[in-house]
Structure 1
Amino acid sequence: MVGLKPSDVPPPLGVKVLSAGTAACIADLVTFPLDTAKVRLQIQGEKAATGAAKGIQYRGVFGTISTMVRTEGPRSLYNGLVAGLQRQMAFASIRIGLYDSVKSFYTRGKDNPNVGIRILAGCTTGALAVSVAQPTDVVKVRFQAQMKLQGVSRRYSGTMQAYRQIFQHEGLRGLWKGVFSVRFYCTLFKKKKINFSNIYWCFCLPDNLPCHFVSAFGAGFITTVIASPVDVVKTRYMNSPPGQYRSSLNCAWTMMTKEGPTAFYKGFVPSFLRLGSWNVVMFVSFEQLKRAMMMSRSRIEATT
């Protein structure tokens, strides 16, 4: 449009989808060790360790990371990274990249939608994203839980082999294991404009990078407190072999009866640190990538 800067023109859907997926991958690369530490702490105590893994005990986020580096090497912190990046390209592209389009659909193009519409749009894109990306999440969690130790058998040797093996032994239900609990978990995560705006209002902060940092960790703490029990159940159920649990509810009941209520908050600190830092890196990268893509698009249009 004549007279408008690239920042004034709403980015097309393709730009938003691609920049959201790419930004989420950048955030995953930065925060993946925290995610892996979270998974190891969440499954600890589920069953007795055997063989070379018997003497390994994880304590705290930094203790877990240092133990993994010492016993399995630094690369163990990035177990499941390939599936994790696949998940972000599928999940974030839909959940975040399609959010504005779905919101506009519900409001029929009207500006300033209310909180209910925003939540509805977030739930819609979240449910759609989970439906598409669930197999990648299952494989990611199973790789993160898998120890790389001599004398400990590995379930999977590669990402594509994991998809094939899960399908062969567990069918499509295995690849979409825990999808309903994940959908519930994802409804607790709103787009940044919902979570962050509440924190802006509480602290009366301007809309800038320091505010994004404070609000991301504030929203991350609240979300982790609420969502941690579902997240722990999700991780254990997706990682479980066939027959260990009848359902996610059975998994939750088994945790309560055998380990007590504190089991639902295993991995709380790495989960909180990962969520807050992931939000900061992701949304800063998202805005910068959108701006860069729009500027490149404008230059191409100007030369044609």
Structure 2
Amino acid sequence: MSKSSTAKDLTAGTAGGILQVLVGQPFDIVKVRMQTAPAGTYTGMLQCAGGILKNEGPLAFYKGTLTPLLGVGACVSIQFGALEYMKRVFTTQNLKARKGGLDGKTLDPFQLLVAGASAGIANSVVSGPVEHIRIRLQTQSAKNPLYNGPFDAMKKIWAEKGLSGLYKGQVATLWREGPGYASYFLAYELLMQREMAAKGIRREQIAASHTILYGAIAGYALWFTIYPADVIKSRMQTDGFTPATGQKYSSTLDCVRKVIANEGIAGFRRGLVPTLIRSPFANGATFVGFEMAMRALNG
């Protein structure tokens, strides 16, 4: 497995991640505000978005964007790097077992699930602190901000709680990333494999429009799998670090129990509408960015 292949995977993943942020960030800030505000704050997505526009201006929809541009680019790069590495591992195994087609690249659902889960777990090492910083910036007061940008946030959180502070909410992040990306990449790769087999074509011959469509479907597979875990992650990552600073939850399970007790199952659906609207655009952009970059890198 060559270093050049890994470098291409990481570069193409970065391209996909940057497109994901630029397309999806405005929807993401609405989602996070709805997930983390006290119950009853917003009647729906439009009221939340309208309030942000009225009170903070249009640029508020890109609050905290520097962190995801750098961080999500790295996260998606890691996702695709880990995914493609595992796909090559399984391809080698398939060739030895004489399955997976002539080139061994047609992976079975179990192999795709393992590859996707591996991508998610590898990604969580970076996505945990990146999303923590982003969410802190997205939810802080516009009039009296606690943090003057992502680097100031990292500095202050590190000073207060050290490494554990940056990784606040990491248990919920792992709940989200492992199962979520297993579903995400399983859906996408099965659709890609299906078209290649049906038409007898190579991966690079699949139309960009189909790549966008398959990415959109994969995005829905992701969110329908992990949305409750995402709500818990957002709650944990906006919670205070100590009781003196407004800490509400003593642990991830305590957060789950309190959401159920105070809001019922509906609490796990808050912010779902903007997420579902954002998903096809952001994930379609991610996959088409990755696939087009890979084609360019491969000449």
Same fold (TM over 0.5): yes
| 1:59 equivalent in alignment to 2:43 | yes
Paired residue for 1:302?
Answer: none
Residue type at the aligned position of 1:92: V
Q: How does 1:82-231 map to 2 (within 5 A)?
A: 82-108=66-92, 110=94, 111=104, 112-149=106-143, 153-187=144-178, 188-190=180-182, 194-196=186-188, 208-231=207-230
TM-score where L is the length of structure 1: 0.81
Provide the C-alpha distance between the structure 2 equivalents of 1:43 and 1:135, rounded to a whole number of angstroms. Answer: 17
Tell me the percent identity: 24
**Inter-CA distance 126–265: structure 2 relative to 1 (3 Å threshold):** same
**Inter-CA distance 185–194: structure 2 relative to 1 (3 Å threshold):** same
- Residue aligned with 1:86, SS: helix
Q: Do 2:82 and 2:118's aligned partners in 1 also have CA atoms closer than 8 Å?
A: no
Provide the C-alpha distance between the structure 2 equivalents of 1:106 and 1:290, rounded to a whole number of angstroms. Answer: 20
- Residue aligned with 1:119, SS: helix
TM-score where L is the length of structure 2: 0.82
Unpaired segments ≥5 residues, structure 2:
95-103, 200-205
Paired residue for 1:298?
Answer: none
**Inter-CA distance 100–134: structure 2 relative to 1 (3 Å threshold):** same
Provide the C-alpha distance between the structure 2 equivalents of 1:73 and 1:173, rounded to a whole number of angstroms. Answer: 34
Q: Do 1:199 and 1:218's aligned partners in 2 also have CA atoms closer than 8 Å?
A: no
Residue type at the aligned position of 1:15: K
Q: Do 2:10 and 2:81's aligned partners in 1 also have CA atoms closer than 8 Å?
A: yes
Provide the C-alpha distance between the structure 2 equivalents of 1:108 and 1:217, rounded to a whole number of angstroms. Answer: 29
Whichever structure has more helix as a proportion of its residues is 2
Residue type at the aligned position of 1:220: G
Alpha-carbon shift at residue 198 of structure 1 (Å): 5.2
Provide the C-alpha distance between the structure 2 equivalents of 1:44 and 1:89, rounded to a whole number of angstroms. Answer: 27
Provide the C-alpha distance between the structure 1 equivalents of 2:209 and 2:74, rounded to a whole number of angstroms. Answer: 29
Q: How does 1:219-258 map to 2 (within 5 A)?
A: 219-243=218-242, 244=247, 245-258=249-262
- Residue aligned with 1:224, SS: helix
CA RMSD of aligned residues (A): 2.6
Question: What per-residue deviation string (whole Å, max 9, x for no partner) do you get for residues 137-184 of structure 1?
Answer: 1101111111313xxx32211211111111111121111111121112
**Inter-CA distance 14–216: structure 2 relative to 1 (3 Å threshold):** closer
Alpha-carbon shift at residue 108 of structure 1 (Å): 3.4
| 1:273 equivalent in alignment to 2:277 | yes
